Amino acid sequence: MNRFLLLGLGTIAGVILGAWYGWSVSPITYTETSPDELRPEFRADYVLMVAETYSSDRDLGQAAVKLSRLGQDDLAGLVRQVAQAYEAAGYPQEDRDRLNALANDLARYSTLPSAAP
Amino acid sequence: MKKLLPYLWTVVGLLLGFALGLGYAWVIQPAKFRGAEPTSLQPVYRGEYILLIASAYQATGNLEYARTRLALFPELGPDTLSSLAQQVVAAGGPQDAARGLARLSVVLREQTPSPSVELALATSRTTPTIRATITQESTLALTIPFLPTATRSPTIMFSPTTNPEFVLISKQQVCNPLIVPPLIQVIVKTADGRGVPGVQLRAQWEGGDGGFVTGMKPELSPGYADYTIEPGKVYQITIGNGLTVVRDLTAPTCPAATPILGGRTPVTATGAGGPFTGSWRLEFEMR
């Protein structure tokens, strides 16, 4: 009886240790990810980089292609969302201006009348 | 032995429990995925991310942001950035990104303490000390993505600040037997003598052409670039937006080399002491 008690106690302690190790010390890591899986702060920075590049090259098509990597259909909404988050976080005005400019151009582009089927 | 037996059961329990706990934490209920970091992206997206950092820097000149972003990729030192810029140019990738990478390479090198390299431009290809400064990071290869172009601009758009004028201020033959193979060396400077990285150049000859960009060898000068030429071919160099063109450049034939390097005559392509093929050096001023 005594040995079963010791075995049980050891097992319980082992489970706790194993779970702690698996969650905290050496958690599962993810590789070969895609941009839509980026952490929110990196997604936001990715959007800002696209807006910064767009402010120089004015290539809306390239900007849209890059933004589409983030897996969201409403690209203008995505950029506007980041602009709002940056405004709330107190980021520089020029960053927000670039984001808003891109969002506006994307919105204008996406609402152009399409060719009749 | 009998005294140790109870502890043995505890150890067995611990091991068994540890395996169960690990299985639970890794397989059944892994730690919540809070999102990926740029370093864990697939190679093609990783390359795209790095080019985006360079393009954004080229667009804004915001070094603070660029540094913060590049800090995510510890392997991207100045040498690697320079190497990547070359890869992008060679592969016909986005010019803005190539310029941004070259500029970042120069800026970061200026801010990174490194052994000083006193090197004459004329011996750039053969001086062993320069090779010693190239670290293993420069061997990193990048998967350069090429985004499908949804809207293609018929002409490249230049803002006033990116449409400078380049004036040829010096064109001279370089008869140095240590430069093998022969080169067209280009140096682009501002009026106050500072080298300008990221200037796009094009070499054209009958039946071919190729691009190169200043800043790829920042250890020589931020405004330095060179292009390997073949004897007998006539080259034309175009700089910047194409308004400045230097025509009719053929590799010159230089007289026999005089003994240098401690009295020894350097071995040239045509043998020791014989006539050899020289290079050209062009200097432009950006206005």
In a domain, A71, yes or no: yes
Alpha-carbon gap, residue B3 to A108, rounded angstroms: 82
User: Per the structure, how many domains does chain A have?
Assistant: 1
The three-class DSSP label of residue A35 is helix
User: Which range is least confidently modeled, A85-94, B28-37, B74-83?
Assistant: B28-37
Degrees to nearest 5, angle at CA B251 with B278 and B131: 50
ipTM above 0.85, yes or no: no
What is the arithmetic mean of pLDDT over B257-270? 44
Alpha-carbon gap, residue A50 to B151, rounded angstroms: 15
Q: Which two tokens stand for residue B99?
A: 């310029």
Give the pLDDT confidence of B127-186 residue by residue, as tens digits: 333 222 223 333 344 555 443 333 333 222 333 344 678 888 888 888 877 778 888 999
User: How many alpha carbons fall within 13 Å on the CB side of residue B277?
Assistant: 16
* Predicted confidence (pLDDT) at residue B33 exceeds the cutoff of 90: no
User: Which range is least confidently modeled, A43-52, A97-106, B88-97?
Assistant: B88-97
In a domain, A102, yes or no: yes
The pLDDT confidence band at residue B223, using thresholds 50, 70 and 90, is confident
**Which among A14, A32, A56 is the nearest to B42, CB-wise?**
A32
Higher-pLDDT residue of B17, B271: B17
The pLDDT confidence band at residue B1, using thresholds 50, 70 and 90, is low
The pLDDT confidence band at residue B20, using thresholds 50, 70 and 90, is very high
The residues with which A33 forms a beta bridge, in sequence order, are: B41
Higher-pLDDT residue of B135, B59: B59
Q: Would you tell me how many other CB atoms lie within 10 Å of the CB of residue B5?
A: 11
Decide if A57 and B20 are in contact by the 8 Å CB cutoff: no
CB B161 within 8 A of CB A55: no
In a domain, A47, yes or no: yes
Place of tokens 């500072």: B194
CB A30 within 8 A of CB A37: yes
- Please, which residues have CB within 8 angstroms of residue B267's CB and are 6 or more apart in sequence? none
**Which among A6, A15, A40 is the nearest to B9, CB-wise?**
A6
Give the pLDDT confidence of A30-86 residue by residue, as tens digits: 788 889 999 999 999 999 999 999 999 998 888 988 998 898 888 999 999 999 999
What is the pTM assigned to this prediction? 0.56
**Domain residue limits at A67:** 35-110
The pLDDT value given to residue B142: 52
Backbone angles phi, psi at B234, to 5 degrees: -105, 125
In a domain, A97, yes or no: yes
In a domain, A15, yes or no: no
Best of B55, B72, B152 to disrupt the A interface by mutation (most A CBs within 10 Å)? B55
Cα separations in angstroms, B80 against B58, B105, B115: 17, 8, 17
**Neighbour-count burial of B94, counting CB atoms closer than 10 A to its CB (0-12 exposed, 13-18 middle, 19+ buried):** buried
Decide if B48 and A69 are in contact by the 8 Å CB cutoff: yes
